[in-house]
Amino acid sequence: MRLIRRPAEEARILPPGCVATIGAFDGLHLGHQRILARVLAEARVRGLAALAFTFEPTPREYFSRGRPPARLTRLREKVGLLAGLGLDWMFCPPFDARMEALEPGEFIERLLVRTLRVRHLVVGDDFRFARGRAGTLADLEAAGARFGFGVEQVGSVVIDSIRVSSTAVREALASGDMAGARRLLGRHYAMTGRVVPGRRLGRQLGMPTANLNLCRRQSALAGIFAVRVAGLGAGLLPGVASVGTRPTIDGVEPLLEVHVFDFDRDIYGRYIEVQFVARLRDELKFPDLPALQRQMHRDAEAARRILAAA
């Protein structure tokens, strides 16, 4: 999959015509997957490229003015998920003041028609676009009739009476309902990152950890988890992980720390994926390091039992 981040410089390399969809695609849940499946199917029928049009930062982050919603997938994770589905292109311009100011007609003509040369557009049933979210399905259909592209709307996915959405995934993760999040996503929720050096406190306490920066302004989850780790060899490796600020040692910056069971290799610089299977407890501040150490070993035993049964 090819990624375009600077449309003014790179859009000329796009193929002549595509089947596209537009959205934040945060989490790439089952609702997103239904839309993208239609994009891929229509692209195959028409012999055109399949393209996802998204923004970085997301519009919700841009408008949050310092209080962003929890990010489910950072850009690199989103690229990997879209590529895994078989998309050919990802068009991801920055969402900024100029993008915010585009009226619906301007948005369609400048981006969909001139830049992307869209031949068929697939959108969700709640899709709105352009300045003040004023753009509607009717606007797209009128423009399609004028400029010669088709417009298709795809209905929502509903599971257990819950409409699948990024908001619903965030709520499940925030409440520790990892099984619920998995039903909405179609997979375990995961974070990826490169292993960075830490304070080696875990090794001192008998449980060495791989540390990953969260690379997002707001994490969708926090606490202690039973996890599986990909990227350290064949298959998934079991472990226990913490997402938080490490209050016992007066930490400030949120960090993902993973202890992989029965594993002791130097993996600094490795890019890994951490899949969250079950939430064990909240992050707590302990009175001293021995108390923390005892709880860490209890957490590890609980994670081993859960993962053995999962």
Query: HSE of 21 in the Cβ direction (CA atoms, 13 Å)?
Result: 30
**In contact, 277 and 228? CB cutoff 8 Å:** yes
- What is the average per-residue pLDDT within 262-278? 94
What are the residues facing 213 on neighbouring strands? 255
Domain ranges in the chain are: 2-159, 189-309
Q: Per-residue pLDDT for 238 more than 90?
A: yes
Instruction: For residue 285, give the 3-state DSSP assignment.
Output: coil
**In contact, 245 and 206? CB cutoff 8 Å:** no
Q: Do domains 2-159 and 189-309 have the same CATH topology?
A: no
Q: Per-residue pLDDT for 249 more than 90?
A: no
Strand order in the sheet with 49-53: 2-4, 89-91, 49-53, 18-22, 118-124, 150-154
> pTM of the predicted model, to two decimals?
0.94
Tens digit of pLDDT for each residue in 56-113? 999 999 998 778 889 999 999 999 999 999 999 999 999 999 999 999 999 999 999 9
Instruction: For residue 284, give the 3-state DSSP assignment.
Output: coil
With cut-offs at 50, 70 and 90, classify the pLDDT of residue 199: confident
Instruction: For residue 202, give the 3-state DSSP assignment.
Output: helix
Q: What is the DSSP letter of 115?
A: I
* Cis ω for the linkage preceding 290 (within 30 of 0): no
With cut-offs at 50, 70 and 90, classify the pLDDT of residue 43: very high
- pLDDT of 217: 82
Mean pLDDT for all residues in the chain: 94
Q: Per-residue pLDDT for 51 more than 70?
A: yes
- The region, left, alpha or beta by phi > 0 then psi within -120 to 50, assigned to residue 79 is alpha
- pLDDT of 241: 98
Tens digit of pLDDT for each residue in 145-169? 999 999 999 999 999 999 999 999 9
- What is the average per-residue pLDDT within 222-228? 98
- What is the average per-residue pLDDT within 29-35? 98
- pLDDT of 13: 80
- What is the average per-residue pLDDT within 182-188? 98
* Distance (Å, whole) CA 146 – CA 296: 63
Hey, how many other C-beta atoms are within 10 angstroms of the C-beta on 165? 19
Polymer length in residues for the chain: 310
> 104: part of which helix (H) or strand (E)?
helix 104-107
Pick from 175, 193, 177: nearest CA to 185: 177
Q: Per-residue pLDDT for 193 more than 70?
A: yes
- pLDDT of 216: 87
* Distance (Å, whole) CA 239 – CA 219: 20
Q: Per-residue pLDDT for 9 more than 70?
A: no
Residue holding tokens 């501040």?
285
- Sequence letter at residue 152: E
Tokens standing for residue 209: 């950890």
Q: Per-residue pLDDT for 10 more than 80?
A: no
Instruction: For residue 117, give the 3-state DSSP assignment.
Output: coil
Main-chain dihedrals φ then ψ at residue 281, nearest 5 degrees: -170, 175
Angle of CA points 263, 264, 270, to nearest 5°:
90
Q: Where does 2-159 sit in CATH, by number?
A: 3.40.50.620
Does domain 189-309 fall under CATH 3.30.56.10? My reply is no
With cut-offs at 50, 70 and 90, classify the pLDDT of residue 6: confident
Q: Per-residue pLDDT for 186 more than 80?
A: yes
- What is the average per-residue pLDDT within 249-264? 91
Tokens standing for residue 206: 């008998």
